[in-house]
Structure 1
Amino acid sequence: MGKNTISLCMIVKNEETYLRRCLESVKNQVDEIIIVDTGSTDSTIGIAEEFETSIFTYEWDKDFAAARNFSLEKAKSDYILVLDADEYLDEDTNLQMVINEKKDFYIINLKNYMDGGYITIHQAIRLFKNKMNLKYYGKIHEHLNIHDFNNLTNDFAGFVIHHDG
C-alpha cells in the first residue's frame, strides 16, 4: 500500500512577512501546495513561487469560506491540510504518521501566541480527507460542514499548529 498524499491549501493576501516560514515548515510534509491569492500587492507571490506551488487568483468577495472552498477544489491529494500564512508546524511533525490511521478528519491543537506573552490553545479541524464533500461555511470564522455527515471517523492529531500573526 502506497503512502497517502497531502495537499496544503492556503488563501493569502499580502503575507510576505510570514509565508516563507509557513511553507518551509510543510515543504517536506506535503505533496502539493495550493496557494489562492486574493489580491496581494507585496512579494507574497514571489515567495510562493520559490516553492513548488500551484498559484491561483481569487477575486476577494469578503467570504473566507468561499475562498477556502475554491482552494479545496484545486487539491488532488488524498488528504488536505489547511493553514494560514501566519501559521507553521512543529519541526518534528510527521503528517504521514498521523494520516496512517486513515481517519476522515483530525482535530489539531492550535497554539496562539498573543501580545503580552499570553498563549492560548484551541482545537480545529485542519487535516481531512479530500473528495468527501467537506466544505467550509461561514463568511468569517469559517468551519467545515462535518455535522452534515453521519459516521465520519476522527482522531486527535499528535502535532501542533503554531500561530503568531
Structure 2
Amino acid sequence: MNRTYKLTFMALFAAIGTFGSSLLWFPAGVAKAYPVQHIVNVLAGVMLGPIPAVIIAFVTGLLRNLMGTGSLLAFPGGMIGAFLAGYLFRKVKRTWGAPVGEVIGSGLIAPLFAVPYAKIVMGTTVGAFFFLPPFIVSSFSGALIGLILVHRLKKTNRWNFHYEK
C-alpha cells in the first residue's frame, strides 16, 4: 500500500471516529460508552497495522477533546486498545486477534492506566474498578461490531488482507 493511500485511510478513520462518536453512544454505568472508536481501532488495526491505528486513536481523541465531545480518558483507552488490536492481529494472523486485543487493551489495561492518569491530569482519585465496567462494555460492543465489519469487508474482496491465512 502506498503512503498516500495509507494516509488517506488514516484521515478517513480519524474522521469517522470523531464524527461517529457524537452520533453513537450509550450510557454504561457512570460513564458513556463510545463504541465507534473501538470499531475504528479494530478496522485500522487489521487494515493498516498497530502504529497507524495508534496515530488514528490519538488524532481522534485530540479532535474530540478540542471539540468538547470527549474526555481525557479517550487517549489511554483508545491508544492502548488500537495498538493491541493491530499487534495481536499481526501476531496471530487471524481476524479475531484484533477485537481480542481491543478488549484487552481498552477494556482491561486502559482502566488500570486511567487511575494514575486521572489523578495527575484530571485531579480525581477514583479506583480502577470505577473505570473497568464502562471501559469493558464500550470496548466489547465496539470490537464485536468491528469484527463483523472486518468479515464483511473480507467477503467483498476489495481489501488485501496481507496477514490472513
**Structure 1 length-normalised TM:** 0.28
**Structure 2 length-normalised TM:** 0.28
Comparing both structures, which one devotes a greater share of its residues to strand? 1
Comparing both structures, which one devotes a greater share of its residues to helix? 2
